[in-house]
Amino acid sequence: MTTTAPRGAGTAAPGRGTGDSGRAAIAARTLRTDRWWVQPLITAVALVAFVVYATFRAFQNAYYFAEPYISPFYSPCLSTRCEGDTFPELFTGPTWISPAIYILVFPLGIRLTCYYYRKAYYRSFWLSPPACAVAEPHRGYSGETRFPLVFQNVHRYFLYAALVINVVLFYDAVLAFRDETGAWGHMGLGTLVLLVNAVLLFLYSLSCHSCRHIVGGRLNHFSRHPVRYRFWTFVSRLNARHMQYAWVSMFSVALADLYVFLLAADVIVDVRFF
């Protein structure tokens, strides 16, 4: 997102905020009478809860593998120090570094730079603005044209990495159809949990605005690119629900981790279907 000069802004320089001389002189912060603060408050509470839980689990470095399930926070597990063997181990890191740290930068990066989450946390944490027709407290506004927010533009590269991780998590879900001995033909509640989580993460990634641009952008004539047009139509349908996929997949990844955590810590036992 970049800042552009609004048409008809008169002599006011663009991007100065609501207190600029070219804006209407309204003393009240907002004329809204509804409870506009509820939504940003709920968003802030939910995001903080997720970040606290994910940080605790990422640094815990334990209870992330319960045969045949591996937590999505720790997959792909690249270090030889990993429990389980769902992915080729590539190196041995220091014991004090949790294996989750090596890969969490990618799922974290895609959510942090996601166009939907940007809107959500700009409103909830930076109050910029907190809601429609509610003045923000900041005096200036530079959009995402300067350091550090200009780095939001790396979003599409996080998307590429996230798609690779999605494939690995789907592979983990397929491996969860094996039992503790490695024999195929098992299905437990954990299998279902990992499978649903992998599908939801795919829906989140494929509904991404960058994904939509990648499959259908920079074309002058869709009629000359029928395959890309079909993909673009499909991704556009998903894109309309990107916000919902963002929230549902965030909860599903935390719940999938929690399920494996409770199994590995012997708090619960897996429900086995066959």
**127 to 166, contacts with ligand FES by CB under 6 A?**
155, 159
Q: CB 249 → ligand FES: shortest distance, Å?
A: 10
Backbone angles phi, psi at 164, to 5 degrees: -65, -45
Q: Is 215 in the site for ligand FES (CB under 6 A)?
A: no
Q: Which residue type is seen at 140?
A: G
- Separation of alpha carbons 81 and 175, rounded Å: 20
What dihedral do alpha carbons 144, 210, 244, 46 form, nearest 10°? -40
CB of 242 to ligand FES, least distance (A): 6
Choice between 241 and 272, CB closer to ligand FES: 241
# of chain residues touching ligand FES (CB under 6 A): 10
Which one of 210, 215, 260, 264 is in contact with ligand FES (CB under 6 A)? Answer: 210
Give, in order, the Cα–Cα distances in Å from 200 to each of 24, 97, 167, 250.
44, 29, 12, 9
DSSP element (H, E) containing 249:
helix 242-264
Number of Cβ within 10 Å of residue 3's Cβ equals 13
To ligand FES, the closest distance from the beta carbon of 76 in angstroms equals 20
- Which of 54, 82, 100, 110 touches ligand FES (CB under 6 A)? 110
CB of 227 to ligand FES, least distance (A): 22
- Chain contacts with ligand FES (rule: CB under 6 A): 110, 114-116, 155, 159, 208-210, 242
